[in-house]
Chain A
Amino acid sequence: DIQMTQSPSSLSASVGDRVTITCRAGQSIGIFLNWYQQKPGKAPKLLIYAATSLQSGVPSRFSGSGSGTNFTLTISSLQAEDFATYYCEQTNSNLRTFGQGTKLEIK
């Protein structure tokens, strides 16, 4: 299986901050990388697919970058509704794997 490692595991930030979450793949996965947001008690929500493509309806303050083994999710100016847990997912392999998650908390 392809291991996905996110950093940090948790992060405290304030409304208006610029935040970056990193995801590293255990082997090169091209752009086969997606990002999801999950709020407590809710299903995950797709934010970014294919490393950089913004899902329809997702605010433009979210952006993704990277290829190969290193990827980032950036929130340009945090809003109150962005406090959640974020997961990366690789789909380069038929056996998909998620990162362990990054919990974004209010400072």
Chain B
Amino acid sequence: EVQLVESGGGLVKPGESLRLSCAASGFDFSTYTVNWVRQAPGKGLEWVASISSSSLHIYYADSVKGRFTISRDDAKNSLFLQMNSLRAEDTALYFCARDLFWSRVHYMDAWGKGTTVTVSS
């Protein structure tokens, strides 16, 4: 069974840092692109970042570029999101999601339950 389990969320002050983790199991993690997607309280989904297999291709949403860093450790089947210079608007539930593609169309077929990040003074 494919499983993604996020951890590392918490309450931090503006300007502080936090590192999220996502532990994957039930599939060959190293061969998949994986994503971070977030959802602010009561709001819609926002894609945050993606990292391809072998970390060849990395992309960020404009809202986090320069502050967040996505990375992976294939030996540990883990995905990470290093979040620096956090702002109140980064407050959200953060999901990791596995990426598949068909005929060049990418889509997210498996999701974790999320970890909550709250940025408040």
Q: A43-B95, A50-B107 are in contact. Are A99 and B44 (CB under 8 A)?
A: yes
A-side contacts of B105, CB under 8 Å: 31-32, 34, 49-50, 91
B-side contacts of A95, CB under 8 Å: 47, 59-62
Nearest chain B CB to A26's CB is how many angstroms away? Answer: 15
- CB-nearest residue of chain B relative to A99? B44
- Is B121 interfacial (CB 8 A cutoff)? no
The complex places the Cα of A45 from the Cα of B37 at a distance, in Å, of 13
Which one of A34, A49, A98 lies within 8 Å of B46 (CB-CB)? A98
Contact with B along A40-52 (1 / 0, CB 8 A): 0011111001100
- Is B113 interfacial (CB 8 A cutoff)? yes
Which one of B57, B102, B111 lies within 8 Å of A43 (CB-CB)? B111
The complex places the Cα of A44 from the Cα of B1 at a distance, in Å, of 17
The complex places the Cα of A96 from the Cα of B109 at a distance, in Å, of 15
CB neighbors of B among A32-64 (8 A) = 32, 34, 36, 38, 42-46, 49-50, 53, 55
Binding site for B on A (CB under 8 A): 1, 31-32, 34, 36, 38, 42-46, 49-50, 53, 55, 87, 89, 91, 94-101
Sample of 23 A–B contacts (CB below 8 Å):
A1-B62, A32-B106, A34-B105, A34-B107, A34-B108, A36-B108, A38-B45, A43-B114, A46-B107, A46-B108, A46-B109, A49-B102, A49-B105, A50-B103, A50-B105, A53-B102, A89-B47, A91-B106, A94-B59, A95-B47, A95-B60, A96-B35, A98-B44
